[in-house]
Amino acid sequence: EETDLNLVMQRLCVMPKVNPNHKRLVVITGGEEATYIATKDEFLEFKPPAVPPDEIIDTNGAGDAFVGGFLSQFTQRKELDECVRIGHLAAGEVIRNNGCTFGDVPPS
């Protein structure tokens, strides 16, 4: 019943974990609006780079692409802002193509 996103994410963060040695990280993507990240101690909001509407071809796979980009950095212990930046780049590239594909030139 709760509608406050910050509160919902904070409640998720304090749920029991199998591995208590690492704090829980909650990530919620909101498309072009924002990506939200919460831990027990903080709530962060990241605005994705704008994609001109005429460049959007297919949004299928955008969330999966974000996760792939995010985790590619997270597993290397990069800072959260860099994880999100790469996730946004991957999603932004996928939506500019038909299906979950990348173009011929990697995003810069």
Which one of the listed residues 4, 64, 81, 104 is annotated catalytic?
64
Q: Is the dihedral of CA 76, 81, 84, 89 positive or negative?
A: negative
4 has catalytic annotation: no
Residue 106: alpha-carbon gap to chain centroid: 19
Q: Is 36 helix (H, G, I), strand (E, B) or coil?
A: strand
Point out the residues that are catalytic.
Answer: 64
